[in-house]
Amino acid sequence: MQTLSDDAKRTLFEKLAENMQLIYRKAIDADDSLAKLQQGGKGKFNHVFADNAGFSVQSKRFMPYVKEVANQVLELENAAPETLELELATIVKKMELLLTTLSQFKVTV
């Protein structure tokens, strides 16, 4: 990947921020639904994502995963140009997994 111009980098981070806001709002709703399910004796599982999903955190709620990705986005702003592409790819995969899972969860609930 060639070095991004300042405008391209700004646009990239604006898009990442927009997607993180969307994920955050969906995660709040999903976590509320999970809490209600678990209070009703349902939703018995150890963590939202499998061990091999690429996340460091394991949780019964979505928000810890959202925080992990948000922190990675913040770190990406200071990433060296030569590592930006690899780190960005990892973040985008996690964001896609979160969005897909949150959407599937909403339909299921």
Q: Where are the domains of the chain?
A: 6-108
Q: Does the pLDDT at position 22 exceed 90?
A: yes
pLDDT digits (tens, 9 = 90+) for 75-105: 998 888 888 889 999 999 999 999 999 999 9
- 23 within 8 A of 66, measured Cβ to Cβ: yes
**At 1, is the pLDDT very low, low, confident or very high (cuts 50, 70, 90)?**
very low
CA atoms within 13 A on the CB side of 65: 29
pLDDT digits (tens, 9 = 90+) for 32-88: 999 998 888 876 777 899 999 999 999 999 999 999 999 999 999 888 888 888 999
Residue 105 CB: number of other CB atoms within 10 A?
Answer: 17
